[in-house]
């Protein structure tokens, strides 16, 4: 009976481990749901501003159409204004011209086909099909041009037989609606481009900071499941990257056409340069998680300096976020990056295998990209990381580096060598002279 107890204990321990893992999973899901709620709360401001812009533009377009345009304009002009604001965020100026071109294309095709084949249900289908096909050939993809071409073709095919002179008012409707939309965006309610970018970048910074800390702890504990979980969570950031790119387009539009935001242009360009390197840093972090997982699966040795370097990289991301928001020089970010690169150099000098070496290279690449995101020039960032990694290697293996550095003898060493050789020659000459004077036996 006593021999049966250990298996029972082992079963209970397995159940306990399963319960612990389940609890950790629930905690992670709860944490991610809370983080998603906070991110959505941050985006409420932008959503509210866009909604107010669309409502104001619709009201102004309807007011202008009601007093200055013909019947039906109070419907088409507000629709064009709302379409300019709501469906073309970040590219409103270009999309407004597409809207006008789509209206013109629909009118031309609709009038031409109505003159050739007449009016009716099947004629309407033919007109719309040809208008959509022509718009797709011109634009190459869907958008305001295609939608307006198809909608205008429907109006021309169905309403033109009953109401003459519909073509010119339709163009004015689109022109008034688009102009009012641009007026609201540029002059009346321009958004704060830097605040929009800051809120769009916040989820990416949060994911990088949290997942790099999680990856460091997982590598330290040699937990393959946790490193794979980090990789999956980093792969699920495509939506955040897409929202950041959309915010960049919207902010660029605002600092271009809104006079009240022209003083933000320089700050926007710094943000735009940092955003591209931030996306590269996200890809670097995925590579770190993938190489960490593979190194653990192959049971490669992992020096303690590697997880410490990964954790320090996450801290550097947090430092850069803080310093960029307040506009300070990224001194703390640079210091944290140098410590990360130095730890990576120490790990390489201690000894790693193939995937561990890839992990060291990935840390150095991520460190360089982080410095570039903080505003450093590429050459300066590479030099800083290379020097810090060299300091780490020299701290572990100084004799080898000193031997390589001093392979060529100095002038003093050459002088000592010549003196030594001269002394040996004099000794050899004296020895030879004594041998000649010695009598033969």
Q: Domain tally for the chain?
A: 2
pLDDT mean values, one per 10 residues, the chain (441 residues): 40 49 50 52 66 82 77 66 64 66 75 76 80 77 68 69 62 76 76 80 90 95 93 89 81 80 82 82 93 93 94 92 78 92 93 91 93 88 92 78 49 70 69 52 46
Same domain for 209 and 149?
A: no
Same domain for 164 and 65?
A: yes
Please, what is the end-to-end C-alpha distance for the chain in angstroms? 100
Same domain for 93 and 106?
A: yes
Same domain for 171 and 204?
A: no
Same domain for 175 and 209?
A: no
d(CA 120, CA 141): 29
Domain boundary among 139, 166, 188: 188
Which residue segment(s) compose the domain that 113 sits in? 30-188
Same domain for 104 and 225?
A: no
d(CA 182, CA 392): 56
Same domain for 338 and 287?
A: yes
The upper half-sphere exposure of residue 35, i.e. CA atoms within 13 Å in the direction of its Cβ, equals: 17
Domain boundary among 155, 188, 221: 188
Q: Considering the domain boundaries, does residue 438 fall inside one?
A: no
Q: How far is CA 366 from CA 287, 315, 316, in A?
A: 10, 13, 11
Q: Considering the domain boundaries, does residue 221 fall inside one?
A: yes
Same domain for 205 and 124?
A: no
Q: Considering the domain boundaries, does residue 282 fall inside one?
A: yes
CATH number at residue 372: 1.20.58
Q: Considering the domain boundaries, does residue 24 fall inside one?
A: no
Same domain for 284 and 179?
A: no
The per-residue pLDDT for 294 is 94
For residue 343, how many other CB atoms are within 10 A of its CB? 26
Q: What is the pTM of this model?
A: 0.66
Same domain for 109 and 161?
A: yes
Q: Considering the domain boundaries, does residue 223 fall inside one?
A: yes
Same domain for 204 and 67?
A: no
Same domain for 86 and 165?
A: yes
The per-residue pLDDT for 3 is 41
């Amino acid at each position: 009976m006593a021999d049966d107890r250990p298996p029972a204990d082992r079963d209970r321990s397995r159940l306990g481990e399963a319960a612990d893992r389940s609890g950790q999973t629930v905690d992670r899901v709860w944490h991610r749901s809370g983080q998603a709620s906070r991110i959505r709360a941050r985006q409420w401001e932008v959503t509210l501003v866009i909604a107010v812009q669309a409502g104001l533009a619709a009201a102004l377009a309807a007011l202008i159409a009601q007093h200055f345009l013909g019947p039906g304009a109070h419907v088409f002009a507000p629709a064009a204004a709302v379409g300019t604001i709501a469906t073309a965020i970040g590219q409103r100026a270009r999309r407004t011209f597409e809207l006008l071109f789509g209206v013109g294309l629909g009118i031309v095709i609709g009038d031409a086909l109505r003159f050739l084949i007449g009016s009716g249900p099947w004629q309407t289908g033919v007109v719309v099909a040809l208008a959509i096909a022509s718009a797709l050939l011109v634009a190459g993809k869907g958008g305001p041009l295609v939608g307006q071409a198809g909608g205008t073709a429907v109006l021309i095919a169905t309403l033109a037989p009953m109401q003459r002179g519909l073509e010119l008012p339709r163009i004015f409707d689109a022109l008034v609606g688009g102009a009012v939309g641009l007026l609201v965006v540029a002059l009346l309610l321009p958004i704060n481009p830097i605040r929009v970018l800051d809120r769009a970048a916040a989820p990416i910074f949060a994911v990088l900071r949290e997942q790099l800390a999680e990856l460091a702890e997982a590598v330290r504990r040699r937990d393959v499941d946790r490193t794979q979980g980090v990789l999956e969570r980093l792969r699920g950031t495509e939506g955040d990257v897409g929202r950041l790119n959309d915010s960049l387009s919207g902010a660029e539009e605002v600092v271009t056409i809104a006079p009240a935001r022209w003083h933000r242009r320089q700050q926007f360009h710094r943000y735009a340069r940092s955003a591209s390197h931030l996306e590269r840093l996200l890809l670097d972090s995925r590579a770190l998680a993938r190489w960490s997982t593979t190194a653990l699966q192959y049971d490669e040795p992992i020096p303690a300096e590697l997880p410490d370097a990964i954790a320090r990289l996450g801290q550097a991301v947090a430092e850069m976020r803080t310093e960029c928001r307040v506009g300070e020089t990224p001194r703390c970010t640079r210091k944290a990056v140098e410590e990360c690169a130095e730890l990576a150099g120490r790990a390489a000098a201690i000894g790693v295998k193939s995937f561990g070496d890839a992990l060291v290279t990935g840390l150095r690449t991520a460190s360089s990209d982080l410095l570039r995101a903080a505003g450093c020039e590429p050459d300066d960032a590479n030099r800083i990381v290379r020097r810090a990694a060299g300091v780490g290697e020299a701290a572990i293996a100084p004799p080898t580096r000193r031997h390589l550095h001093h392979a060529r003898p100095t002038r003093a060493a050459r002088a000592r060598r010549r003196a030594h050789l001269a002394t040996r020659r004099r000794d050899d000459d004296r020895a030879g002279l004594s041998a000649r004077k010695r009598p033969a036996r």
